[in-house]
Amino acid sequence: MNDARPQTPEAPSPRFQRLPELGGLSLAWRRIDAAAAGNDRPGIVWLGGFKSDMLSAKAERIAQWAHTNGRAFLRFDYSGHGESEGEFAQGTIGQWSAQSLAMIRKLTKGPQILVGSSMGGWISLLVARELAARNEAERLAGLVLIAPAVDFTEELMWHQLPEAARQEIETKGFWMRPTQYAPEPYPVTRALIEDGRKHLLFGSVIRAYCPVHILQGMQDPDVPWSHALKLVEHLAGDPVALTLVKDGDHRLSREEDIERLLRAISEIA
């Protein structure tokens, strides 16, 4: 699900962070440090989507905006994504959310705004839950979630698959799912589905412990806008704003969509 890639103010080559506590894989990352104008403002962390990477159009534009406004900005690739080590087919929600928490704790300081796109929206909420469990809820200044695919492995994937695909996942351990975002299908593994069930959020109150702004396209073929409404209902204990974009798709990568995203970030803090 890669987008066009404009120029970025950062160095072209990523740096790498090895996570020995999480299997020893090295994750690729890029960071803009805060300048004087942004020293008293929260940093920003990009959490990308399923099979996306940190060089997507939205992440690149946030990097440009952060550089212009002196804001700290961290982005990285999950294992098996982009420039990081690991095999995509071996990844799970639990692994990617644990990696995200580790990278945030190792590579950022002070309050952060998590910008989670699609799967990154689910991961953002899992990170928020874990930080609160560690008495570190103050590390989050807010969440901006773009088409948040909460519980997608179960609600938007498993429940929607034809019976033949489910049987193939159960018997072979994977099924190759066609996608409109790439010429080749990608594997949906039994491990991804089974691990996803350990991290489901719907069914009880969801807490972010900070303000949340959700941006959702109403023409999204992957995450229906009713899914965003369901998330709002479950975030009963937090201040939540929901922006529905009537003609918006899943990516929300048009110029007007990205301007809306940047406003949402700046309005949080």
> Which among 193, 140, 203 is positioned nearest to 170, based on CA atoms?
193
What percent of the chain has pLDDT above 70? 96
Q: Options 3.40.50.300, 2.60.40.420, 3.40.50.1820, 3.40.605.10; which CATH number does 15-150+205-268 get? A: 3.40.50.1820
Q: Is 99 exposed, middle or buried (0-12, 13-18, 19+ CB in 10 A)?
A: buried
Q: Would residue 118 show up in a list of annotated catalytic residues for this protein?
A: yes
Cα separation, 223 vs 156, in Å, equals: 7
Tokens representing residue 23 in the block: 């299997």
pLDDT of 4 higher than 70:
no
Q: What is the pLDDT of residue 2?
A: 37
Cα separation, 128 vs 148, in Å, equals: 14
Q: What is the mean pLDDT of residues 8-20?
A: 84
Q: What is the pLDDT of residues 128-173, one digit of tens each?
A: 999 999 999 999 999 999 999 999 999 999 999 999 999 999 999 9
pLDDT of 108 higher than 50:
yes
pLDDT of 26 higher than 80:
yes
Q: Would residue 3 show up in a list of annotated catalytic residues for this protein?
A: no
Q: What is the mean pLDDT of residues 231-248?
A: 97
52, 84, 100, 118: which is the annotated catalytic residue?
118
> Which among 223, 50, 209, 93 is positioned nearest to 143, based on CA atoms?
209
Q: Is 23 exposed, middle or buried (0-12, 13-18, 19+ CB in 10 A)?
A: middle
Q: What is the pLDDT of residue 8?
A: 57
Q: Is 114 exposed, middle or buried (0-12, 13-18, 19+ CB in 10 A)?
A: buried
Type of residue found at 87: E
213, 222, 250, 253: which is the annotated catalytic residue?
250
pLDDT of 12 higher than 90:
no
Q: What is the pLDDT of residues 56-78, one digit of tens each?
A: 999 999 999 999 999 999 999 99
Q: Would residue 77 show up in a list of annotated catalytic residues for this protein?
A: no
- For the chain, the domains span 15-150+205-268
- pLDDT band of residue 267 (cuts 50, 70, 90) is very high
Sole residue written with tokens 């159960």 = 170
Is residue 108 within 8 A of residue 40, CB to CB? The reply is no
Q: What is the mean pLDDT of residues 35-49?
A: 92
Q: What is the mean pLDDT of residues 121-130?
A: 98
Q: What is the pLDDT of the chain when averaged over all its residues?
A: 94
Tell me the CA distances in angstroms from 187 to 67, 95, 123, 138, one per residue in order: 36, 17, 20, 37
pLDDT of 25 higher than 90:
yes
Q: What is the pLDDT of residue 268?
A: 96
53, 151, 220, 257: which is the annotated catalytic residue?
220
